[in-house]
């Protein structure tokens, strides 16, 4: 593992890109997934479906901002879209099964 050369930074706006470059592009995706897991654990008291749906939607919004700032790939946004769609379908399926 190489250390980050902080002397290449001219201002604070380069800090996110330098952190991502120093970790071979895994810093911001890792932070996004950890935040998603933390949001699920915080909201699990409202129910499994609600926790996954809300946490995935919030992570989707955050991932879109990170994609447009150039810090993560589109794959992470599409992953959260897939999770949201799966949870919508699961909620509909489990609701129709109870009726």
Task: Give the pLDDT confidence of 39-66 residue by residue, as tens digits.
Answer: 999 999 999 999 999 999 999 999 999 9
Domain that residue 51 falls in: 14-98
Q: Return the closest-CA partner of residue 28 out of 4, 2, 63.
A: 63
Structural domain contains residue 47: yes
The domain total for the chain is 1
Q: Is residue 92 part of a domain?
A: yes
Which pair of tokens denotes residue 68?
């447009």
Residue 3 lies in a domain: no
Average pLDDT, the chain: 85
Reported pTM: 0.80
Residue 5 lies in a domain: no
Cα distances from 70 to residues 17, 79, 96, in angstroms, run: 8, 17, 41
Backbone angles phi, psi at 25, to 5 degrees: 80, 15
Q: Is residue 6 a part of any domain in this protein? A: no
Predicted confidence at residue 6, as pLDDT, reads 62
């Amino acid at each position: 593992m190489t250390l980050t050369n902080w002397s290449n930074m001219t201002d604070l706006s380069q800090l996110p890109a330098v952190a991502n470059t120093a970790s071979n592009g895994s810093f911001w995706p890792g932070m996004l997934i950890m935040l998603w897991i933390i949001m699920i654990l915080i909201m699990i008291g409202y129910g499994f479906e609600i926790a996954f749906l809300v946490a995935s939607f919030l992570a989707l919004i955050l991932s879109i901002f990170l994609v447009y700032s150039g810090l993560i790939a589109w794959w992470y946004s599409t992953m959260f879209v897939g999770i949201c769609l799966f949870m919508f379908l699961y909620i509909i399926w489990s609701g129709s099964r109870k009726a």
